[in-house]
Structure 1
Amino acid sequence: MNRYEMLERVGDGAFGEVSRARSLKTHEIVAVKKIKALFPTWEECLQLRELKSLRVLRHENIVLLKEVIRDKEELYFVFEYMQTSLFRVMRNFKCHEGSSSGAEMSSGSEPSTSSWTSTPPYPWFSEAQVRSIMYQLFSGLAYMHKHGYFHRDIKPENLLCHDDTLKIADLGQAREIRSRPPFTDYVATRWYRAPELLLRSTTYNSPIDMWACGCIMVELLICTPLFPGTSEADQFYRICKVLGTPTKETWPEAGAMASHMQPSNLCKTYFNTTQADA
């Protein structure tokens, strides 16, 4: 790592910490992710899911892996540097403060269609800005799915932005679509988790990414999280309250999956109560 000067730490996750750095040769600003685990051999490095997927996925809306460095037993990923995340942009637009209401959005002048990564003059996104964001997200995700991978943790924090360009990042949870179940049942962040994940399904696939995208799109439009559940059971309740409760005809496996919810079986209770009342 003597080719880079570490400038500042910008993030820390379950699998590694990310720092802003400068190339001593080209002076280019990059993002360096230091993996927390140690890797005695290159063969072990090459087995990392994130590395496997990043070597395959090259798209303008997927963050670019520029270099992989193994220094002794420590592993570093060198990425292109992105200015911010969609989460921070949304926070600037006050989407996570509940500052907008339907009445507020429908009154007054139309929001600007200018840069959505700059400080906004309005507390919500314009329709044109939402189209720009979602087009880029869907483009990157379509490429990912077409090339055999699904992300499993689409959320605003994992969507990086720079000069109104959006890129999907943090592929540490990505799996091959052709992989055989069972998959890990606890993936994705709660507010963006598909119903089958809330019921701990282990046979899910790429549609869970599309569910997360839908939640993000609505959040951009209404400037508040669509399903801000406080627990898995509450999350499932909020979804059913809006979309209706699945039945044995529409989703036969749901009841059986709900019965395994622990410790309180609240999802199962809600399932039985609402279907009995129908």
Structure 2
Amino acid sequence: MEKYMLIKKVGEGTFGSVCSAINKQTGEVVAIKQMKNKRYHSWEECINLTEVQSLIKMSKHPNIVKLREVIREHDILYLVFEYMECNLYELIRKRGRRVFSEDEVRNWCFQVFQALAYMHQCGYFHRDLKPANLLVSNNVIKLADFGSARKINSGQPFTQNITTPWYRAPEVMLKSPTYTSAIDMWAMGAIMAELFTLRPLFPGLNGADQMYKICSVIGTPTDNSWPHGIRLARGMNYQFPYLPGVHMSIVMPSVSDDATSLIRSLCSWDPFKRPTAAQVLQHPFFHKCYYVIPPSPRTTPAAYCQQNTNTNKNTAVIGIQAGIC
């Protein structure tokens, strides 16, 4: 950490705090995430973290935040990232009543769906999509904060305590022991709607209120529309409130039919009825967009470990360099 000069704290999360810093050797501004609530006594612990593994594998994608270095110093873990100017939550909060144009929403969301399509193709899902985890600089948006990311085919029961409640898919709220990358698609449906209205689509005060908010917009699920969800609810002794729902055009007036139809499909009760990120990229809403061919998942940055033996035996660095794993 000697080569970095910390500037100020820019964020605080469940897994760590983030500060902006300057690389004293190059003058580059970076963001440094200090992991908290755990001591890291070996390199194996560091490099085996899913957050580190996933970022190393996907670091070449233009819409995924780049991991520069992994540093373990005095058993504290630091992740060094490229610096981005702000996040989507901050942009929404600063807008006041001036809604974003449809072209702005289209541009941002297309970039995010490209990142998600690549991430899911690489075998991971994010599990904590929200405006604060989408970083923006000069109209480029990047997916960030992979602390909750997991391998899709890990075969293990997944925790229900993930994602901010406003963006949490209903199967997670109903404590399904397994779920898929479709939870990322639900979150993106809610985020898209929020970009159009500058208000959360499902702003629940608690779990019950959250489900009520969802039902009030998309209507109560039935045995035909989502049989698995009905079984999950019965297993919890939960009764859905009966609400007919409303058309998305009522929630988002002056928004195109293509946009509202996409949001409605993303916010389907049944996760198997939600489009995949790759399918979303082909939706009519994005026909004006230019698709950027992502790097092959087989060609990923390689990690190298360099032990700092000159100054401090308690300090070591993993750098990220181009290569093939």
- TM-score, normalised on structure 2? 0.71
When residues 224 and 161 of structure 1 are mapped into structure 2, their CA distance, relative to the original with a 3 A threshold, is same
In structure 2, stretches of 5+ residues that fail to align are 245-325
Quick check: 1:228 aligned with 2:198? no
The whole-number CA distance in structure 2 between the counterparts of 1:158 and 1:85 is 7
Which amino acid counterpart does residue 80 of structure 1 have in structure 2?
E
The whole-number CA distance in structure 2 between the counterparts of 1:66 and 1:194 is 32
The whole-number CA distance in structure 1 between the counterparts of 2:193 and 2:227 is 28
Aligned length: 242
SS at match of 1:144: helix
- Contact 2:33–2:80 (Cα < 8 Å) also in 1: yes
Kindly provide the CA deviation profile for residues 75-115 of structure 1, in whole angstroms up to 9, marking residues without a partner as x.
Answer: 11100000100000011112xxxx4xxxxxxxxxxxxxxxx
Deviation at 1:227, TM superposition (A): 1.0
The aligned residue for residue 228 of structure 2 is 253
Kindly provide the CA deviation profile for residues 48-86 of structure 1, in whole angstroms up to 9, marking residues without a partner as x.
Answer: 111111111121100000011111211111000001000
Quick check: 1:22 aligned with 2:25? no
Question: What is the aligned counterpart of 1:132 among 107, 111, 116?
Answer: 107
The whole-number CA distance in structure 1 between the counterparts of 2:13 and 2:202 is 24
- Contact 1:63–1:169 (Cα < 8 Å) also in 2: yes
- Contact 1:50–1:172 (Cα < 8 Å) also in 2: yes
Kindly provide the CA deviation profile for residues 149-168 of structure 1, in whole angstroms up to 9, marking residues without a partner as x.
Answer: 10000000000111111000
Deviation at 1:259, TM superposition (A): 3.8
Deviation at 1:222, TM superposition (A): 1.9
> Structure 2 matches for 1:1-278, cutoff 5 A?
1-36=1-36, 37-58=38-59, 59-94=61-96, 99=97, 123-261=98-236, 268-270=238-240
SS at match of 2:220: coil
Deviation at 1:17, TM superposition (A): 1.0
Deviation at 1:269, TM superposition (A): 2.9
Q: Which runs of 4+ in 1 moved over 6 A?
A: none
In structure 1, stretches of 5+ residues that fail to align are 100-122
The whole-number CA distance in structure 2 between the counterparts of 1:6 and 1:50 is 23
- Contact 1:186–1:200 (Cα < 8 Å) also in 2: no
- Contact 2:215–2:243 (Cα < 8 Å) also in 1: no
- TM-score, normalised on structure 1? 0.83
Which amino acid counterpart does residue 240 of structure 2 have in structure 1?
Y
- Contact 1:150–1:176 (Cα < 8 Å) also in 2: yes
- Contact 2:216–2:243 (Cα < 8 Å) also in 1: no
- Contact 2:219–2:243 (Cα < 8 Å) also in 1: no
